């Protein structure tokens, strides 16, 4: 009997020690356990189009032509949102992820070279995550132009993000062959996945800020109080939505914001914790010193209004080589952990 009891004790000790070991595994080795996932659309409006000729369209090769009347009521400027609710929530509030210009919510999904992105990371950390495709991006769809959207879309070449997102070392640095690419020294972007990254790029309109902000406000009204994480173009959206709903946006994480909020309403942000995070190679870029300076100036205005904005320059922490696409860089998990630590320090983690 003693030997049998000893065997049982040894078995349970091994069992519980294995549980402890599993809980300490890196994020990439942990499974995702969801209570719920789904999607919905917010925002948008109806527009009536008239005076256009009826067309005869062959929708399918070998099919029968159909008459299409383009006159009528259209649903436009809506926004698609996908959400993931973990089985065991540790984040006290939902985490909303908003992407940058010419991109979609894919920004936060699997990295172009196949590693885990920030979407998976924060779900595994116990956050209810809401990842969206902004108005006229991805699954949100876009409206006819110039009848509804008054401007034409902008399309990017494969060379453009390589140079503009602080990956390549100036004009002519892109090459189809990763071995012949000319990255900035020590750049963290996964070069072998760059061509795959360009498949995420979508047409972008420069005249849709107003409906985009309206859709984000409707999203905040639907699921918040919450924390909003923004990148690049959506920096100004994050600021402005927080100014419109300061009672519902409880924290802002601004990853290289390309724009700022309304300086006349800066006082609305004084009680909202916020941090701006920047990567490397900014000083040597033609645009980013001014972009960052504009945000620092806006932060100064927040301080004068009683706010406490924070700034993290990763190179000053010894973290070097980051491009504009920090969530895709080879050290993306390290940067996500900095954000997680900031959220925990602010009291947003159970």
For residue 59, being part of any structural domain is answered with no
For residue 48, being part of any structural domain is answered with no
For residue 203, being part of any structural domain is answered with yes
Q: How many domains does the chain have?
A: 1
For 298, the domain range is: 34-42+78-139+150-345
Identify the CATH number of the domain in which residue 214 sits: 3.40.50.1820
CA distance 231 to 165: 12
pLDDT for the residue 8:
43
For residue 19, being part of any structural domain is answered with no
Predicted structure pTM score: 0.90
pLDDT for the residue 28:
64
For residue 52, being part of any structural domain is answered with no
Give the list of residues 6+ apart from residue 99 with CB closer than 8 angstroms, or none: 105, 106, 107, 108, 132, 133, 134, 137, 231, 232, 234
Q: What is the pLDDT of residues 286-339, one digit of tens each?
A: 999 999 999 999 999 999 999 999 999 999 999 999 999 999 999 999 999 999
For residue 215, being part of any structural domain is answered with yes
For residue 257, being part of any structural domain is answered with yes
Residues of the chain under the 50 pLDDT cut? 1-26
For residue 323, being part of any structural domain is answered with yes
Phi, psi dihedrals of residue 36, rounded to the nearest 5°: -165, 150
pLDDT for the residue 338:
98
């Amino acid at each position: 009997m003693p030997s049998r009891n000893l065997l049982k004790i040894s078995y349970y000790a091994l069992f519980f020690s294995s549980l402890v070991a599993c809980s300490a595994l890196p994020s990439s080795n942990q499974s995702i356990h969801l209570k719920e996932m789904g999607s919905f659309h917010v925002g948008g409006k109806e527009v009536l189009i008239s005076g256009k000729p009826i067309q005869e369209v062959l929708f399918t090769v070998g099919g029968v032509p159909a008459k299409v009347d383009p006159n009528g009521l259209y649903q436009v400027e809506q926004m698609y949102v996908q959400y993931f609710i973990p089985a065991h929530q540790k984040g006290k509030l939902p985490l909303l992820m908003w992407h940058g210009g010419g991109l979609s919510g894919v920004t936060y999904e699997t990295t172009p070279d196949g590693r885990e992105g920030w979407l998976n990371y924060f779900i595994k950390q116990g956050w209810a995550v809401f990842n969206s495709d902004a108005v006229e991006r991805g699954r949100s769809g876009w409206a006819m132009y110039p009848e509804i959207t008054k401007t034409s879309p902008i399309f990017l070449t494969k060379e453009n993000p390589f140079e503009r997102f602080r990956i390549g070392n100036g004009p002519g640095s892109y090459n189809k062959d990763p071995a012949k690419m000319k990255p900035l020294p020590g750049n963290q972007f996964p070069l072998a996945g760059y061509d795959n990254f360009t498949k995420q790029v979508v047409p972008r309109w420069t005249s849709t800020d107003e409906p985009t902000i309206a859709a984000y406000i409707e999203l905040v009204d639907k699921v918040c109080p919450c924390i909003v994480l923004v990148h690049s173009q959506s920096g100004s959206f994050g600021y402005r939505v927080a100014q419109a709903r300061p009672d519902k946006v409880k924290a802002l994480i601004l990853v290289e914001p390309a724009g700022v909020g309304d300086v006349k309403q800066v006082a609305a942000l004084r009680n909202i914790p916020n941090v701006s995070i920047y990567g490397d190679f900014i000083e040597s870029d033609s645009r980013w010193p001014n972009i960052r300076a504009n945000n620092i100036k806006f932060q100064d205005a927040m301080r004068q209004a009683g706010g406490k904005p924070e700034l993290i320059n990763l190179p000053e922490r010894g973290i070097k080589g980051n491009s504009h696409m920090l969530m895709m860089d080879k050290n993306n998990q390290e940067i996500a952990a900095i954000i997680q630590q900031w959220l925990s320090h602010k009291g947003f983690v159970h």
